[in-house]
Chains A and B, each alone.
Chain A
Amino acid sequence: MSRTRWVWIGWALLLVAAVVLPFLVKNYRVFQFNLVLVYAVAILGLNILTGFNGQISLGHGAFYAIGAYGAAVLMDRVGMPYWATLPLAGVLCFVLGFLMGFPALRLAGHYLAVATLGLALAVPQLLKYKHLEAYTGGVQGIVLVKPDPPFTFRFLGQPFNADRWLYFFTLAVTIVMFVLAWNLLRGRVGRALIAIRDHPIAAAVMGINLPLFKSLTFGVSAAFTGVAGALGAIVIAFVSPDSFLITLSIFLLVGMVVGGLASIPGAFFGAIFIQFVPNIADELSKSAPAAIYGVLLIVLMYLMPTGVMGMVRKLWARWQPGAARLRVNVNPGAPVPVSPDLTKESTT
């Protein structure tokens, strides 16, 4: 059989496994899987900006929060059905991300990192602001109603309840977002983003409209993470300013690097890491679970410095017959850094 046939069969098997999975495990695991999917979309958004386009962001938690609150306010105050809030949250975050892209044009590397850090710190404060309390619920947050499944049945001995319905909803949205990202990044746009990341001046000379592309990338990236935030709000059924502290932005960054920069499937591995490793750390130590998490993180970085997908790519390349090794690699080697550029390999 041809290679594409194998690929299609592989995807089909994966899909079947994903569909059957929620019925094999208890409710609370399904809830955890929902969170993994949500974080995967959020990390994918961040990866579009930082991995593919080289603009470091320490503030994606802010877009996640805005998406989540957007969905919550629409559901709670305006009475919109939950599925309708997703596109609106995405559009809102796109606009805000695009606007954020303008100052980002002038900043590079560490300076952009601090600017986005500022955004991540400012958003919880704004959410608590008393004059916005009528909309945001202030420090108490907003409690949401978990959506009910539109129909019920039993399969493999487990009922099709709210959690499993949300799992399929989230899975569908995740698949859509991933396909969108893949489509966007594999064509001219993807190559343009990578060109901007690696050789911005050459890219401009080739006719790529740098300011427009970079701002649009910021917007798209924010939209992805905003949709993830909205999904998260629906799954968890609660939003509050304390849900979106700076630690969220930092963990999204950690997840992105663990999964692999400039990699779409890497987002899943990153999401699995940030969702499950804290639980593992908690079981190993009650006195200092964060220390265990830190140790595991550092060890992982030693073993896989370019992330899980980086390692997978390396192994895959070794497996290939000779000619295929010359295929274009999206993670080029070490060119001369033009400005403090955080996604590139060090030249030390």
Chain B
Amino acid sequence: MKFNHFHLAVAGLAAAAISLSAAAQKKYDPGATDTEIKIGDLKPYSGPASAYGTIGKAIAAYFDKVNAEGGVNGRKIKYISLDDGYNPAKAVEQSRKLVEEDEVLLIFNSLGTPSNTAIQKYMNQKKVPQLFVATGATKWGDPKNFPWTMGWQPTYQTEGKIYAAHILETKPNAKIGVLYQNDDYGKDYLKGFEDGLGDKAKTMIVSKVSYEVTDPNIDSQMVTLKGSGADTFFNITTPKFAAQAIKKAAEIGWKPTHYLNNVSSQVGSTLKPAGLENAVGIITTQYNKDPTDPQWANDKAFLDWKAWMQKYYAGGDLTDASNVYGYSAAMTMVQVLKQCGDNLTRENVMKQAANLDMVLPMALPGINVKTGPNDFYPIEREQLARFDGKTWVLFGKVYDASSN
């Protein structure tokens, strides 16, 4: 039989059929196999920010739970979390170890704006996903310039804008005093706040004072703020200093309308030490359920979370909101992996991350996780809440930054 056009056509069709079925088969990038998905992470287990190391442990515990229940699409998650000590130089080194030596599929929830800024260019050059970054800086949602980097939590600037909007609505003649931490965290919040006030920022903000994390307390700053005659107070601090500020304000007899940033708003770790009676009337935004807030004590999602903590992270602190944060972030990651199915290439991981539409059980009702090819901000909704002495009472509408 001579080899003619007919045979060529059959051969061509067969080849096409084989390659099509190959496309429907499994595709892996380094870090993914039939049995395992390697995920890397950078967390400060030592150094000045070691308080946030518990997020890494919570994530590990959540992945333990997922693995115990069969893994994701039959694959177990291998979670490699390295210590970067909140030092950008160490972060660069450890991220390279994760990508080049441990050959992880992606880096997930790396913490700290300086560390993430240091590795952002490298991750994008190497085309390795830098997913669900654990900081609220606004710059992580920039798919045009950094298509491999995505944030997770509502940004600090969004939150600042929400407070500004609320003040303009309810107290347009307010005299505002601001206390902020002198680093990227504090300044990002401040920028959002000032942008939200627009032209009125200069006239409304009568006093802006900063503090360093090495300061023992912020008594002097509180005295300055009271002396400026401000009747509204925007408190941009981390939990310890927030507690100090609330207590000192009560001690010196200053009772402004008090806006407290979300990071420091837990009942158990900030308000209780400061004195619950001193915290009445404070306003914050929330997107997660506060594990120390009595209103969630019988909520199913909270009880699930508590059971998970007791089984998989028995040494963890049930009053630490960081453990809710880690739980929810890990849940988001697992959802992305589930959506990837058998196509575990890095490109597909980013594609699925940019294709999320889910609800987290430990998030507040009405808060969703939604992303798109041009929307790299997964959680954009927050709601205002006011403290009544026992619990955070949600009020008003759910603000959605994606409409801005």
Q: A residues bordering B, Cβ < 8 Å? A: 26-29, 31-32, 35, 121, 125, 128, 138-141, 143, 232, 236-238, 240-243, 245, 247, 278, 281-282, 286-290, 293
Residue from B45, B47, B48 whose CB has the most chain A CB atoms within 10 Å: B45
B277 contacts partner chain A, Cβ-Cβ < 8 Å: no
User: In the complex, A125 Cα to B215 Cα: how many Å?
Assistant: 12
Given A140-B117, A240-B88, answer yes or no on A278-B83 (Cβ-Cβ < 8 Å): yes
**Contact bitstring B365-396, A, C-beta under 8 A = 1, else 0:** 00000000000000000000000000000000
User: In the complex, A245 Cα to B100 Cα: how many Å?
Assistant: 28
A242 cross-chain contacts in B, Cβ below 8 A = 86-88, 114, 183
> Which of B86, B88, B101, B214 interacts with A28 by CB under 8 Å?
B101
- Considering the complex, give the chain A residue whose CB is closest to the CB of B115: A242
B53 cross-chain contacts in A, Cβ below 8 A = 286
> Which of B45, B89, B101, B117 interacts with A35 by CB under 8 Å?
B89
- Considering the complex, give the chain B residue whose CB is closest to the CB of A133: B187
**A138 with B57: CB separation less than 8 A:** no
**A282 with B82: CB separation less than 8 A:** yes
**B100 with A140: CB separation less than 8 A:** no
A237 cross-chain contacts in B, Cβ below 8 A = 92, 118, 121
**B187 with A138: CB separation less than 8 A:** yes
**B100 with A28: CB separation less than 8 A:** yes
How near does chain B come to A297, taking the closest CB pair, in angstroms?
13
**A243 with B88: CB separation less than 8 A:** yes
**A139 with B57: CB separation less than 8 A:** no
Given A27-B96, A247-B47, A289-B46, answer yes or no on A139-B89 (Cβ-Cβ < 8 Å): no
- Considering the complex, give the chain A residue whose CB is closest to the CB of B183: A139
B56 contacts partner chain A, Cβ-Cβ < 8 Å: yes
B83 cross-chain contacts in A, Cβ below 8 A = 278, 282, 286, 289
**B93 with A31: CB separation less than 8 A:** yes
A281 cross-chain contacts in B, Cβ below 8 A = 46
> Which of A141, A245, A278 interacts with B90 by CB under 8 Å?
A278
In the complex, given contacts A237-B118, A242-B87, A243-B87, what are 14 additional A-B residue pairs having Cβ atoms less than 8 angstroms apart? A31-B96, A128-B183, A139-B182, A238-B118, A240-B88, A241-B183, A242-B114, A243-B88, A245-B48, A245-B87, A282-B46, A286-B57, A287-B45, A289-B83
B101 cross-chain contacts in A, Cβ below 8 A = 26, 28-29
How near does chain B come to A30, taking the closest CB pair, in angstroms?
10
A-B contact count, CB below 8 Å?
Answer: 93
Given A27-B96, A31-B96, A286-B83, answer yes or no on A139-B88 (Cβ-Cβ < 8 Å): no
Q: Enumerate 19 A-B pairs (CB-CB under 8 Å) in ascending A order.
A: A31-B92, A31-B93, A128-B182, A138-B187, A140-B113, A140-B184, A143-B118, A236-B118, A237-B121, A238-B117, A238-B118, A242-B86, A278-B85, A282-B83, A286-B45, A286-B56, A286-B57, A287-B45, A290-B46
B97 contacts partner chain A, Cβ-Cβ < 8 Å: yes
A293 cross-chain contacts in B, Cβ below 8 A = 46
- Considering the complex, give the chain A residue whose CB is closest to the CB of B113: A140
How near does chain A come to B272, taking the closest CB pair, in angstroms?
25
B212 contacts partner chain A, Cβ-Cβ < 8 Å: yes
**B121 with A141: CB separation less than 8 A:** no
User: In the complex, A282 Cα to B47 Cα: how many Å?
Assistant: 12
**B92 with A238: CB separation less than 8 A:** yes
User: In the complex, A286 Cα to B46 Cα: how many Å?
Assistant: 9
B81 contacts partner chain A, Cβ-Cβ < 8 Å: yes
* 4 A-B pairs closest in CB distance: A28-B96, A290-B46, A238-B118, A282-B83
- Considering the complex, give the chain B residue whose CB is closest to the CB of A31: B96
Residue from A232, A288, A289, A293 whose CB has the most chain B CB atoms within 10 Å: A289
Given A35-B93, A128-B183, A243-B114, answer yes or no on A143-B88 (Cβ-Cβ < 8 Å): no
- Considering the complex, give the chain B residue whose CB is closest to the CB of A237: B121
> Which of B85, B100, B114 interacts with A240 by CB under 8 Å?
B114
- Considering the complex, give the chain A residue whose CB is closest to the CB of B212: A125
A141 cross-chain contacts in B, Cβ below 8 A = 88, 114, 117
How near does chain B come to A348, taking the closest CB pair, in angstroms?
33
**B89 with A236: CB separation less than 8 A:** yes
With an 8 Å Cβ cutoff, the count of chain B residues facing the other chain is 36
**Contact bitstring B189-221, A, C-beta under 8 A = 1, else 0:** 000000000000000000000001010000000
> Which of B48, B100, B182, B184 interacts with A26 by CB under 8 Å?
B100
How near does chain B come to A20, taking the closest CB pair, in angstroms?
20
B121 cross-chain contacts in A, Cβ below 8 A = 143, 237
A232 cross-chain contacts in B, Cβ below 8 A = 89
B99 cross-chain contacts in A, Cβ below 8 A = 28
**Contact bitstring B114-154, A, C-beta under 8 A = 1, else 0:** 10011011000000000000000000000000000000000
User: In the complex, A3 Cα to B237 Cα: how many Å?
Assistant: 65
B47 cross-chain contacts in A, Cβ below 8 A = 247, 290
Residue from A232, A281, A282 whose CB has the most chain B CB atoms within 10 Å: A282
**Contact bitstring B30-64, A, C-beta under 8 A = 1, else 0:** 00000000000000011110100100110000000
User: In the complex, A26 Cα to B85 Cα: how many Å?
Assistant: 24
How near does chain B come to A148, taking the closest CB pair, in angstroms?
12
How near does chain A come to B115, taking the closest CB pair, in angstroms?
9
A287 cross-chain contacts in B, Cβ below 8 A = 45
Given A240-B114, A240-B117, answer yes or no on A121-B214 (Cβ-Cβ < 8 Å): yes
How near does chain A come to B306, taking the closest CB pair, in angstroms?
22
How near does chain B come to A158, taking the closest CB pair, in angstroms?
12
How near does chain A come to B133, taking the closest CB pair, in angstroms?
15
A29 cross-chain contacts in B, Cβ below 8 A = 101
How near does chain A come to B45, taking the closest CB pair, in angstroms?
5
A247 cross-chain contacts in B, Cβ below 8 A = 47-48, 85, 87
User: In the complex, A140 Cα to B187 Cα: how many Å?
Assistant: 10
User: In the complex, A143 Cα to B117 Cα: how many Å?
Assistant: 8
> Which of A28, A238, A290 interacts with B97 by CB under 8 Å?
A28
How near does chain A come to B213, taking the closest CB pair, in angstroms?
10
**B88 with A238: CB separation less than 8 A:** yes
User: In the complex, A232 Cα to B92 Cα: how many Å?
Assistant: 12
**A243 with B96: CB separation less than 8 A:** no
**Contact bitstring B242-276, A, C-beta under 8 A = 1, else 0:** 00000000000000000000000000000000000
- Considering the complex, give the chain B residue whose CB is closest to the CB of A140: B184
How near does chain B come to A162, taking the closest CB pair, in angstroms?
10
How near does chain B come to A114, taking the closest CB pair, in angstroms?
15
> Which of B81, B86, B90, B97 interacts with A286 by CB under 8 Å?
B81
How near does chain A come to B193, taking the closest CB pair, in angstroms?
16
Residue from B89, B182, B212 whose CB has the most chain A CB atoms within 10 Å: B89
How near does chain B come to A276, taking the closest CB pair, in angstroms?
10
B45 cross-chain contacts in A, Cβ below 8 A = 282, 286-287, 289
- 8 Å CB interface, B69-99 against A: 81-83, 85-90, 92-93, 96-97, 99
A241 cross-chain contacts in B, Cβ below 8 A = 183
How near does chain B come to A133, taking the closest CB pair, in angstroms?
10
